[in-house]
Amino acid sequence: MKDNSIIIIGAGFAGLSAGIYARMNGYNTQIFEMHDSPGGLCTAWKRKGYTIDGCIHWLVGSSPRSGMYRYWEEVGIARGREFINMDEYMRYESADGRTIIFYANVDRLEKHLMEFSPQDAKPIRDLIQGIRMCLGFDQPSESDPLLKRLQKILKLGLILVTRGREMRKWMNLSVAEFVMRFKDPVLREALREMWFPEFSMFFMLFTFAYLHNRNAGYPIGGSLPMSLAMARRYTDLGGIIHYDRRVEKILVKEDKAVGIRLADGSEHRSGQVISAADGHTTIFKMLEGKYVDKKTREPYEKWPVFQPLLFVGVGVNRSFADEAQNSLRHEFPSTPADGNRVCSAEQNTGPHF
Ligand SMILES: Cc1cc2nc3c(=O)[nH]c(=O)nc-3n(C[C@H](O)[C@H](O)[C@H](O)COP(=O)(O)OP(=O)(O)OC[C@H]3O[C@@H](n4cnc5c(N)ncnc54)[C@H](O)[C@@H]3O)c2cc1C
């Protein structure tokens, strides 16, 4: 008889999703997670009455009209959760007192940027045109009626045929390269700092398109409640999670994964193994680099390493009700005695703080 057991490594979003869909399809599943709680990167913690949460700023697919929403419902995230669609994605406050507002609505964004820096009309128009191109992307969903699904597939096909070259151009353009087209140094810096300079411009265009379509809402409660909801959905379906268990090795027999060995030396067997830990650890440590082809190895050896991200959360004992929800390079005195020393920081005064 076929062994229908699956061991999943990691209880982040990917591992929990794998567990939920495996349970929904009748597999016996166990997740082994090295941390003491679920969620992986999508987490938060409490300290002295503050919730420190640096992860979810927006969740793509938060609109019930989007093709992805059904999946968020299935994995237990969307059910009963309220999403807030922001009118402003981000404010950038410059040292010279000017403020750029990155509006979610593309028309408003265009008007504001044009007023902010008329000399940059050309790159602003390019940016807005790029965002408008992405507005039409609506992923077909299995829950759509057949006719609607066909319409969406046709529309996607048409966009790919007519705008394919333009899309490739944006895909191959980094944020750092694009911002050099702007003359206003504040606008240039704001766009550069908003995400990572090495990101593809495509990411920026899509994010603004999702925001415009009110399909990238902020989930009330923030990151950890979403992860806990997902873990609950998984265990409600009968799935098992073992916490504080670090997987060291994937056991292989005749080129097939047959189980895992934990850091405590114990071994656990299953019909299949899914690793939802990071790729490098999985391929080069758990599998000792024995099952990797040239194509898979190349990104790890040749691609530039992503800059490390350091997150520092600061709880401030005052109301931010009148402040923008997200602002970048906010100015504030670093200590009362310092007067106006400028600190560059991202301030998030979202409902979870
Ligand atoms: C600062 C920040 C902001 C973000 N903002 C957003 C946002 O606004 N919107 C959005 O959609 N996404 C956002 N993301 C991205 C999103 O959080 C991640 O894409 C997602 O959480 C990744 O899930 P994952 O399951 O693939 O990986 P992870 O969350 O990394 O999960 C991997 C899990 O595997 C476990 N693990 C690893 N090795 C082992 C081992 N040897 N044994 C056992 N367990 C192991 C880890 O402990 C972890 O729990 C953000 C990420 C960060 C860092």
CATH number of the structural domain spanning residue 26:
3.50.50.60
Q: Look at ligand 1, atom 7, and give the residue with the nearest C-alpha.
A: 56
244 is a domain residue: yes
Does residue 59 have its Cβ closer than 6 Å to ligand 1? yes
- Ligand 1: which atom is nearest the Cα of residue 58? 8
Query: How many Cβ atoms from other residues are within 10 Å of residue 110's Cβ?
Result: 18
343 is a domain residue: no
The pLDDT confidence band at residue 326, using thresholds 50, 70 and 90, is confident
Residue of 17, 32, 35, 41 best suited for mutating to test ligand 1, as the one with most atoms within 8 Å of CB? 41
Instruction: Give, in degrees to the nearest 5, the angle at Cα 337 between 332 and 339.
Output: 45
Average pLDDT over residues 311-320: 87
Residues 125 and 14 in one domain: no
Residues 191 and 123 in one domain: yes
Residues 132 and 38 in one domain: no
Residues 231 and 262 in one domain: yes
Question: Helix H segments across the chain?
Answer: 13-24, 69-74, 106-116, 121-135, 146-171, 175-179, 185-194, 201-212, 223-236, 279-280, 294-302
Residues 48 and 148 in one domain: no
Residues 158 and 294 in one domain: no
The two tokens of residue 282 are 């999985």
Of the residues 196, 219, 242, the one at which a domain ends: 219
Query: How high is the pLDDT of residue 293?
Result: 94
Residues 116 and 44 in one domain: no
333 is a domain residue: no
Q: Provide the domain count of the chain.
A: 2
Range of the domain at 265: 5-53+223-302
- pLDDT surpassing 80 at residue 36: yes
The pLDDT confidence band at residue 347, using thresholds 50, 70 and 90, is low
Integer Cα distance of 254 and 266 in angstroms: 21
